[in-house]
Structure 1
Amino acid sequence: MFESADPKQPFYVANQIAVSEENIKVLTTLFEPLVGIQGVGLYITLTNEFDEVPFAKDYKTLYQLQDQTNLKLEDLFSTLHHLEATGLVKTFLGSNPVLGEVLIFEVEKVPSAGEFFHTFLLSSLLLERVGNVAFNRLVKKFTPRTFVGLKDAKEVTSGFFDVFHLSAESAIDAPVEVKEAAGEVPKDNKSKIKLGNEPVKIDWNFLVDLFASYHIDKGEVLKHQVEIKQIIDFYHLTEQEFVDTALITMSAGSEKLNMYAIQNAVNENFGLNRNKKMVKKQLQQVPKDASRTIKKLSQSDADLLKAVDSKVPTDYLYELKEKKGGYVTANEKKVIFRLQDQMGLTPPLINMIVYACFEYDTVLTANLADRIANDWLQQGITTPAEAIAYLKERKNTRKRQYYRAPKKTVRKTTDWSKYEKQNQTKRKTMSTEERNRIFREFGKNE
């Protein structure tokens, strides 16, 4: 430990440190019990003493530091030693041609609360100084708290590329000026800016190397950079996952990337494991009232239940097609394979889905099978017996539609023949005298 009895000893602060509000909080709550209030004050004072290009006249003396902190020289060094011991300040002894021996202080950045508590010497000393109750209170004070509602909330934050347009070249490979600026400005490894819903960072060199092992050259990969980035970003794939999916679409000897086929393959394969886990969890649920369901089944239902329980899906598919007529297509077999291998449904339940599909259509289609499977799982139906009971219930409650002939509207019109007969008796016949009078009067007014 260095001490000087000369208040005229020159000193200099070698670096500049910005003290944030969070730093002040850590200083005054965690470090203050260790270094004292004088230590906190001395640290803040030193952070304000940096001079980029000091001349001889710019060097201050310990006396000036005493005056600023209101400490005796002995107390000043004692406080300084506390700051050194806790990692907040480093002290160096240098020489100057004009001033001679010079003290140089390097101020360290205030660590975060997490770093403090993970430095066991510091946290153990704090525990001794403040006691268990106050220590636990400090731990809670710096424990991050999250709003409970965030647990089930869906993030709808806009991503960088949702708002801003940046050229593909700059987005993938930063310009030289940007890289040079990053090299000159020091990076704080403790903090990182998260740009909204941040896209996945792609290691293009690694991706190119992976494709190179399958004889896909760098130019072919870079030609589709924008499309590859969009797919990886949207589905949050790793470079290896993207390459593995792309290989599915490639034939032997092919050296080109079919982005349309890759997009379809990613759509098909993305989230398969998650879907399988979801289905498995639902299938493990205990049926609500299995015994009651079984009692409701008729003999034909029991025969159906026996058939779906005893046959593998492909055999059951062929059996149904043989009964109904027609033939089994390749796409129908793909539907069964997908339900079992990719979705994890049990063979008996798949057989019931096949049976239900043929109740609606003549062929087994993926869309109809998915609709039925999702409907059953959402209703908690996980066994063939429950499915049979559910189908019967829906059939019984379905409203019958009767054909009704539309009511014929008859427009009423006047029957003039009847009208004439009815009004014949009402006609009034003119007498001979009346006719003569009309002729006599005719023309007199002209």
Structure 2
Amino acid sequence: MKPIWNEIQPADRYRASSNGLLQDYDQKVISLLYQPLIGPQCYSLYMTLWNEVEVGRLWSEDWNHYHLMSFLSMNLSEIYEARLKLEGIGLLKTYMKQTDDIRMFIYELQPPLSPEQFFNDGLLNVFLYRQLGRTHFQRLKHFFSDRAVEPGEYRDITRSFQDVYAAKIGPEVLNEAEAQQISRLEENRRYIEKTAAPVIKIENTHFNFDLLYANLRDELIPLRAITPEVREAIVKLSFLYGLNELDIKKILLQALTADLEIRVEDLRKIARSWYQIEHHDELPRLVDRFQPEADAKERKEPENDEEKFLRYLETTSPRQMLIDFSGGSEPAKADLAAIEEVMFAQQLPLGVVNVLIQYVLFKTDMKLSKNYLEKVASHWARKKLKTAKEAMAFAKKEDRQYKQWLNNKEKNGTGRRKPVRVEKLPDWFKKEDQKTAAAAVQADGESLEEKRKRLEKIREQYKKG
């Protein structure tokens, strides 16, 4: 369990309060839009604190945290982590006062975003889409929306205030200054009212705008195109998709209109497409910065060269792997398009896609044949391969069959027999007769051993970070 005794203890007391009046509609928003992101424990904590606040009032009675532990059947660590998640997503503010050895907490519930704010947030809506999928996401969007009045069908005949009311001037009218004075609340009180939800702000601690502007000086993008709205979108997108300054520059170039302006919606679409190509048609998901122990295995450092190479295959985007293979050159758009189409159509995991690319590159003399790529990919998808290691083993097992597919394709495509091509294999495809294979020379003069050395160099660069 995470050591939290310095942060909170069961005997510490708390009061729940509400930043404004919470309504039944807010409960629907939290239940259907927020709960898939924060989980049932956070939802239970929020609703428990809400119910402790008296209906129509803003404060609960004093309780200690033993009460919460018993009521929620959660240990103190779970309550503390649920509290942090609620704070991070903007549903809770926490205040603490210490007097001698007694600590008093105030848990101030914040209203959720309106459905319109949520579905246009740029962060939460993307995370929710990733969590629920297209069908259920569309269902929720329709649940929280309805048909609007068509402006062309009706005309607005609503009367204004001054059309209906007039001020009567006379001695019986109260003094205006006195009315204003009496309306003011005492310093330690506030009106019970519906308040606006705090919009989630991403603190810009990770993106260097000075570096971005320096990169833009040589491009056609004027700095006036980076409006405050665009700047805020850049901060969100860089956080959401892990974009650096160079990535953002490329995306801005694509989003620039003929009028030298940048629309935030275009920026979002291009960034989303870039991320999905890089990450196998997936959107980012919301995870905790304090990761559970279940992820410890995933974060474990590789112990040998084989594990390092597998980690490289499982974590490197296909685009970056092609760049590594070519010694730093940007891959051709046709190659990226072929890989993207296969990724979207066959839904293969990232590690499997990278093994597939390596296998096809070596089999087709580094040309990345689209037809051959699609045929092998569909076979691997039917076999439900999940990891790079499984894909390597399966490629070795089915190599004879794939070689026959390739030979038949060449015979049918030309009408005459092509010169026999020397067999080339990726480094992980070593067999017992590798000495014989290493002696083979490719048609372009590069031996298989030289090819292996180049791949080894790529792996060495990866090990150095």
Q: TM-score range by the shorter chain?
A: 0.3 to 0.5
More helix as a share of residues: 1
Larger RCO: 1 or 2 (CA < 8 Å, sep 6+): 2
Structure exhibiting the larger radius of gyration computed from Cα positions: 1
TM-score normalised by length of structure 2: 0.34
Normalising by structure 1, what TM-score?
0.35
